[in-house]
Amino acid sequence: MERSANALDERSKRVLWAVIESYINNPGPVGSRYVTKKYAFGYSPATIRNIMADLEEMGYLRQPHTSAGRVPTDKGYRFYVEHILEEEIGYHSDFAKTILRRFKSIMQDMESILSETTKTLSALSHYMAMAVSPGPEGVTLRRIELLPYKEDRIAVLILTDEGIIRHHIIKNEFRLSASDLSRITNFLNREFAGYTIKDIKEELINEMIKDKEEFDTLVDRALRLCTEAIETYGANIFITGLTEILDFPEFADIERIKELYRTIEDKHNIIKLIDKIAHSEGVQVIIGTENPIKELHTMSVIASTYKDKDRPAGVVGIIGPKRMNYISAISLVDTAARILTKILEEGGEGWKRRK
């Protein structure tokens, strides 16, 4: 009955698949009899038990306690999603329709779109949804405006190609007049428009401050002013739909909820996760302990990057229990990423109206 440690024959695969599907559809360990009833394999429970014992030995399943049914391990889920990912991922047209309809009515800045996306995504998937806006390296400055605000304040408006808008208030340290500001604005746009925020932040400003002696004081002041506004630029994280997953039996334990809530409230935590996803191609599935965030070891994350000019811009995804409907979740996330990529593409040409 010995079989090589990692090779799964066809029959084992089918049983493993059956166990995982059963477990996803209703919680609680799945037993050998249930599998034989639900899936007509043509084997008796005893045979299935043998196979399940093998699968356990190989690390795909485990027993919560002796004489309970089997439950998939992270390795088991991994097997399951690998097979899903091999298939063509279905474009989720319901989702696409819903979300495009919403966008048509708002047609707002990118971050409003991301916020709407997470809402739609969590409503349709019944899991938590998250989205991350492009970071400094993925955002190209289109226009910067310095406007006189209050007596000693200036409002800085940053408009980007990606449809992200940020405003910022800075002190008018040098008591610059409206016409000064207008001149500075022109200068800034001439110098910096078309560069990414990251480039502006790291290279240009440093460089120009270095040989500032060559410039007149107004330019020097312009650089100092916009430094503060530029430096605060950071990606925004949107997370919605905690209520959606609250009813899953895996959150019957109150400590779990508290832990989860604390984890997502601390958004810096999520950054770690994003890095892992941002530089990979296609839909990423992170199961349980594969997650760098310890608090999410009981959860699965499905995420994908959306792109701008063929470079990864931001991340969109779903967070749910490990026992989640991977097929529909993967399809939803993939669709979301495609839509966001499309919006950015069209945005580059001026956000043409969809027909």
Partner DNA sequence: CGTTAGCACTCCTCTCCATCGAGTGCTAAT
Partner DNA sequence: ATTAGCACTCGATGGAGAGGAGTGCTAACG
Q: Which residues bind DNA (CB under 7 A)?
A: 1, 29-34, 42-47, 49-50, 52-53, 56, 63-70
The encoded tokens of residue 281 equal 């191609």
- Choose from its own copies, DNA, none: what does 178 bind? Cβ within 5-8 Å by kind: none
The encoded tokens of residue 290 equal 């594969």
CB of 285 to its own copies, least distance (A): 27
Quickly list DSSP for 141-158.
EEEEEEEE-STTEEEEEE
Residue 179's CB is within 10 A of a number of other CB atoms, namely 9
**Whole-angstrom distance, CA of residue 218 vs CA of residue 184:** 7
Q: Does 190 bind its own copies (CB under 8 A)?
A: no
Q: Does 257 bind its own copies (CB under 8 A)?
A: yes
Give the nearer residue to DNA in terms of CB position, either 49 or 221: 49
Cβ-in-10-Å burial (0-12, 13-18, 19+) of 109 comes to middle
CB of 72 to DNA, least distance (A): 13
Q: Does 219 bind its own copies (CB under 8 A)?
A: no
Q: Does 8 bind its own copies (CB under 8 A)?
A: no
Give the nearer residue to its own copies in terms of CB position, either 59 or 249: 249
CB of 132 to its own copies, least distance (A): 19
CB of 181 to its own copies, least distance (A): 12
Q: Interaction with its own copies in 22-81: which residues (CB under 8 A)?
A: none
Give the nearer residue to its own copies in terms of CB position, either 165 or 219: 165
Q: Interaction with its own copies in 154-183: which residues (CB under 8 A)?
A: 155, 157, 159, 163, 165, 167-169, 171
Helix axes 254-265, 267-278, angle to 10 degrees: 80
Phi, psi at 241, each rounded to 5°:
95, 25
Who contacts 52 (Cβ-Cβ below 8 Å, separation ≥6)? Answer: 15, 19, 32, 61, 70
Give the nearer residue to its own copies in terms of CB position, either 84 or 242: 242
The encoded tokens of residue 331 equal 């399809």
Per DSSP (E only), the strands in 17-121 are 61-62, 71-72
**Whole-angstrom distance, CA of residue 122 vs CA of residue 127:** 5
Q: Which residues bind its own copies (CB under 8 A)?
A: 107-109, 142-143, 145, 147, 149-153, 155, 157, 159, 163, 165, 167-169, 171, 242-243, 246-247, 251-252, 254, 257-258, 261-262, 265, 347, 349-353
